[in-house]
Structure 1
Amino acid sequence: MATAAPPASTHWRAAWLMLGSTVLFGMMAVVIRLASASLHTFEIAFFRNFFGLAVALPLLLRHRPGLLRTSQFPRYLFRCMIGIASMLAGFWAIGHLPLAQAVSLSYSTPLFVTIAAAALLGEQVRARRWIAVALGFAGVLLIVRPGSTDFSMGTLVALLAALLSSIVAIQIKQLSATEPADRIVLWTTLLWVPMSLVPALGVWTWPQGITWLWVVAAGLFGTGGHMLWTRALKLGEVSALTPISFMQLPIVGAMGWLLFDETFDRWNLAGALVILGANAYIAHREATLARRAASGAASSAAKPGE
């Protein structure tokens, strides 16, 4: 018997949750940039994690300390080490590149995830998705433009953040097969605080004045965005929700223009559109294949007379 489709209200709720997460992630990028005027981005990463932990700790009240019981601690440790390296590189890019350019390059993460899934998980990636990946990297080249006068080594740092983020995504996919989502969130946040403190101590200066507001907001926006994002994906399909996440780009582009007098040139815009289009197609294909696999499994499980 076919499974009933989710009601329209569920789709709308998922869409609003994804839009909320997109706004929060965009605002996190803005406050990181504001804080970077007086603080090193390594310190901002620490405060983002420290104040983000305050948002995540209520999970312990809901599930009790037993939530932390796991046999996968070495995997959490590895995942968080890679995640911190990605965060430090990504925050550095936000602090030193035009906001829209840094965010555009962060959208290359799904391209790297497709490659990593094939290399590390043995997932079968067919020709159409490989073509989408290739087109996505063509968009990256439009933004980076190696050899041109506009080329900056900072763009390579942004790409490093995206590459490391793709490895984190693979680790989360493996962990989520046996670990509940709230345990992953809590262990990640708990480990990120001391891990991000180590590099922050090397450049430490105490925040002054309004900078405290920016670093607290980074923690609230970042953790809040992740919570809304995970709930949106639980309710809706990735292929339908991914285009909504692209709204982060006009948000940070507008804020970069208003607050930092930044412009988003035609090369960055063209590259961003190519990357976003490639990501939308990859998300659509993955959702289609997942539905086919689920339908095939349901058909094989349904036996006559049962």
Structure 2
Amino acid sequence: MAVRQHPVAGAALWMAAALVSFILMAVSGRELAASFSTFQILLIRSVIGVLLIGGLVWLTGWQQLRTHRVKAHLGRNIAHFAGQYGWFYGLGLISLAEVIALEFTTPVWTALLAALVLGERLTAPRWLALLFGIGGLLLILRPGAGVMHPAALAVLAGAMGYAAAYIFTKSLSGTDTPLCILFYMTLMQLPMSLIPLSLLPDQPQWLMPQGELWVWMVLVGVTAMSAHYCMTKAFQLADAGVVVPLDFLRLPLIAVVGFVFYGEALDVWVLLGALLMFGGNLINLRAEWRRQRA
């Protein structure tokens, strides 16, 4: 007899695949940041994404692209593009661990938006996760200590953009397929990165990737698609307040990568802040697991 998989367990498996994709995307972004502007990285990522998702849709059927929620897709992609810009911008200026730790404030903003927009209830464990998240953020940024890099604020703003995108994703996953969501993501975000490159006078000159830089460009495009496909599948199985905290395992892994390959020091304040956020979200995750089992 087949064993039915628990929804939270299924979401955890999809988020594990997303976690690997996000780490590879971060490393690729760091490698590219020294040579290309953020807008050019996002543009090539979108071009690769259109080709990949277009090929998958061609194989599986164009009918799954039908949607009556174009405005929701547009809102999601404006928010997600803002999040991506802040994230990739920070990768070239601050440590990998700090970028990921600041991105981990996303559950704080997601829980608040989920309560306001989706009507998800703010239970006591979710309130604890919010308080722990704010405390962790203060430890990481240490306002007034004179150590906060301006790029950290860009990453923090990007985390807010991600939170809004997650809310749209949770809503869209109830009516549209993951491939549909990804297709419109790449299609809509392509001109969002092309227009600034064409119109803004202070943007660096367009550069054609050479040699191994093409490998990093392709990896950015592939992992961006795989990460969001896996995350969309996870959202179909569990609430936004459950799915997003599962991503916290990224921090120790990316900290090791930054230490080994880039010589980045392990900032104790960043680690303590992220640990505080993780503790709050672990309490929330255990409560959600028990609630769903009941």
The 1:184/1:143 distance shift into structure 2, 3 A limit, reads same
2:247 is the alignment partner of 1:245: yes
In the alignment, is residue 173 of structure 1 matched against residue 190 of structure 2? no
Gaps of 5+ in 2: none
CA contact (8 A) 2:136 2:275 kept: yes
Letter in structure 1 aligned against 2:110: V
Which SS does the other structure have where 2:146 is aligned? coil
Aligned mate of 1:79, from 59, 70, 76: 76
Higher Cα Rg, which structure = 1
| 2:45 partner SS | helix
CA RMSD of aligned residues (A): 2.8
Q: How many residues in Structure 1 have an aligned counterpart in Structure 2?
A: 287
Residues of 1 paired with 2:244 and 2:253: CA distance?
16
Write the deviation string for residues 42-87 of structure 1: whole angstroms up to 9, x where unpaired: 2111212221222222332244222222211122112211211111
Match of 2:4 in 1: 6
Amino acid at match of 1:52: G
Map of 1:302 onto structure 2: none
Q: Which amino acid aligns with 1:205?
A: W
CA drift at 1:7: 5.4
- Written as runs of structure 1 = structure 2, the 5 A alignment for 1:58-73 is 58-73=55-70
Give the structure 2 partner of residue 271 of structure 1.
Answer: 273
Partner of 1:57, secondary structure, is helix
2:36 to 36, 39, 43: 39
Counterpart residue number, 1:28:
25
Distance 1:249 1:70, change over 3 A: same
Equivalent runs, 1:171-210 vs 2, <5 Å: 171-201=168-198, 202=200, 203=203, 204-206=205-207, 207-210=209-212
Identical columns (%):
32
Q: 1:117 to 1:49 in 2, by over 3 A?
A: same
Conserved in 2, the CA contact under 8 Å of 1:36 and 1:95?
yes
| Residue identity matched to 2:95 | P
Name the structure 2 match of 1:122.
119
What SS is found at the alignment partner of 2:272? helix
- In the TM superposition, residue 115 of structure 1 has moved relative to its aligned partner by 0.8
Q: 1:228 to 1:80 in 2, by over 3 A?
A: closer
- Contact 1:22–1:248 (Cα < 8 Å) also in 2: yes
Gaps of 5+ in 1: 293-306
Q: Alpha-carbon deviation of 1:240? A: 8.8
TM-score normalized by structure 2?
0.86
TM-score normalized by structure 1? Answer: 0.83
Contact 1:237 1:287 in 2 (8 A): no
- Mapped to 1, the partners of 2:278 and 2:193 lie a distance apart of 30
Give the equivalent residue in structure 1 for 2:90. Answer: 93
